Amino acid sequence: MYVVVPSGMLLVWLGGYSWLTSWVVLTFAVMIGSVFFLARAFKPTIRTFATPHYNQAIFVQKLTRAVWLYILLLLIMLWLMVAKPILW
């Protein structure tokens, strides 16, 4: 992850794209949103592990749903970077 973002920024700059191009702005917006999603989806669920409120079925269900939503966010970012749609 630490190499992906700087190398992506370098490729946008070397590729001659504007930083205000719709796919660049949306990719960064989804990336920043995914950081908040990770904190909101996983941290409270992981905190219930090994506590009296722990229920394995609910725990697995919540983590599975969060993982699939995060994969969807990653796929949206991938599509934006590959397809480079011009939305405005």
pLDDT in tens, 1-30: 568 888 988 999 999 999 999 999 999 999
> Per the structure block, which two tokens stand in for 52?
């009296």
**Tokens coding 69:** 């939503």
Return the pLDDT at 20. 93
The pTM assigned to this predicted structure is: 0.80
Tally of residues, the chain: 88
pLDDT band at 84 (very low <50, low <70, confident <90, very high): very high
The predicted pLDDT at position 1 comes to 57
Alpha-carbon gap, residue 45 to 54, rounded angstroms: 9
pLDDT band for position 43 (50/70/90)? confident
